[in-house]
Structure 1
Amino acid sequence: MSPHLAQIVFLIGVFGWGAIRIPHEIKNKRKNRIEVSQADRQERALLLISLTGLGILPIAYCLAPTLRRLLAFADLPFSPVIAWLGALVFVGALALFLATHRQLGRNWSQTLELREGHTLVTHGVYRLVRHPMYTAFFLWGLAQLLLLQNWVVGPAGLIGFGILYAFRVGREERMMHEAFGAEYAVYVTRTKRIIPFVH
């Protein structure tokens, strides 16, 4: 794999993410009324930080030769083996991303919201971790690091999404505790947040 092909693979992965996410977003906005929302200024700022690290910066890097030249000082010696590993990780991220959307169904929301008739999903990948979609985004960030071998652009996804995760996950879990009470408390005792049996 060449650096150019690695950039194409990354862009295909982003396109795959959009092909999974956008239909769910359109369907949920049309059919589901929001009952609880914490989509405040902090939440919007965190989404922008994450989007910049996982999307805006790496997509611009792949598509804009001028930006690549500006950031050439941060290029690492390119390893095809590491890039192929990144491609495999991105496939895993997309597979997990698809599974979480399918299993959440109408409960899915891009931000901190509860829909009308919201249910607690504990089957499928949710048997193993409480936030598998966050796991999928961390895998995307890892794939980005392996595919775009530049010490500015590569880790930007992990950093951007890591900031969102650090400031959001506690708020999300408090919201779930308030909505589902003892049921969620029991669920918390038998699952980890994003890595099965670890964290």
Structure 2
Amino acid sequence: MTLLAFSKIAWAIGVVAWYVLRIPFERKARRMKVSDARHRNLRDMTLLTISTLGLGVTPTLYALTGLPRFASYPITVIQVVAGILVFLFALWLFWRTHKAIGKYWSVTLEIKEKHELVTTGIYAQVRHPMYSAFFLWGLAQALLLPNWIAGPAGLIGFGILFFFRVGREEQMMREAFGAAYDAYVRRTKRVIPGIY
């Protein structure tokens, strides 16, 4: 097996593991009634589609076909090892985030009935650790897929979703939790502890 084939397989295993980790939490979240789904709209769905193109469609096309070939470059062992380690950390963070937020998790922006503000566990470090995990997935993809388009597509696609969504999400949380959320914002950063 070539190093390139190994790196593509490692990326694919990481993506499959990501969705397998999410299954039990998604089932729990579906049982909760939604009290505020006003942000479930065309804009949010468009952002989710852009993110999926970057983290799913474009890299899968590259992994299966090598396209676009003109943007490929040679991969190194250090790059593959770093990519695997970053993806493992992303998966761990993704699992911890789901475990902490539990039944309040949602793909779209919504508040569940009897929703509580989660500020413990990994949420004591950053306000959006799931977004942190997605950025790490994007970084792992950039390392594992040696293609100037498919590699960074995850960081770009998810970055677009994040920057157009996070402010609206925080506004929704502020409206739902008021002063408690404002205090939480003052003591935490968005996705990188102590930095941003």
Which residue number in structure 2 is paired with residue 88 of structure 1?
Answer: 85
Give the letter aligned to residue 61 of structure 2: A
5 Å matches for 1:56-95?
Answer: 56-62=57-63, 64-65=64-65, 68=66, 70-95=67-92
Instruction: State the shift of 1:23 in Å.
Output: 2.3
Which residue number in structure 2 is paired with residue 119 of structure 1?
Answer: 116
Q: Secondary structure at the match of 2:189?
A: coil
| Separation in structure 2 between the aligned mates of residue 198 and residue 27 of structure 1, nearest angstrom | 32
> Mind listing any 5+ residue stretches in structure 1 that lack a counterpart?
none
Deviations 1:80-135 (A, max 9, x none): 11111000000000000000000001111111011111110001111110000000
2:101 equivalent to 1:104? yes
Q: Secondary structure at the match of 1:140?
A: helix
2:131 equivalent to 1:130? no
Which residue number in structure 1 is paired with residue 161 of structure 2?
Answer: 164
| Separation in structure 1 between the aligned mates of residue 159 and residue 91 of structure 2, nearest angstrom | 18
Q: Tell me the C-alpha RMSD between the 2 structures.
A: 1.0
Instruction: State the shift of 1:78 in Å.
Output: 1.3
Instruction: State the shift of 1:57 in Å.
Output: 1.4
Match for 2:185 among 184, 188, 193?
188
2:30 equivalent to 1:33? no
| Separation in structure 2 between the aligned mates of residue 174 and residue 25 of structure 1, nearest angstrom | 24
2:145 equivalent to 1:148? yes
Runs of 4+ in 1 over 4 A off after TM superposition: none
Give the letter aligned to residue 60 of structure 1: L
**Count of paired positions:** 194
Using the size of structure 2 for normalisation, the TM-score is 0.97
| Separation in structure 1 between the aligned mates of residue 61 and residue 98 of structure 2, nearest angstrom | 27
> Mind listing any 5+ residue stretches in structure 2 that lack a counterpart?
none
2:45 equivalent to 1:44? yes
Q: What percentage of aligned pairs have identical amino acids?
A: 52
Q: Secondary structure at the match of 1:35?
A: strand
| Separation in structure 2 between the aligned mates of residue 26 and residue 132 of structure 1, nearest angstrom | 20
Alignment check: 8 A CA contact 2:28 2:102 kept: no
| Separation in structure 2 between the aligned mates of residue 154 and residue 78 of structure 1, nearest angstrom | 11
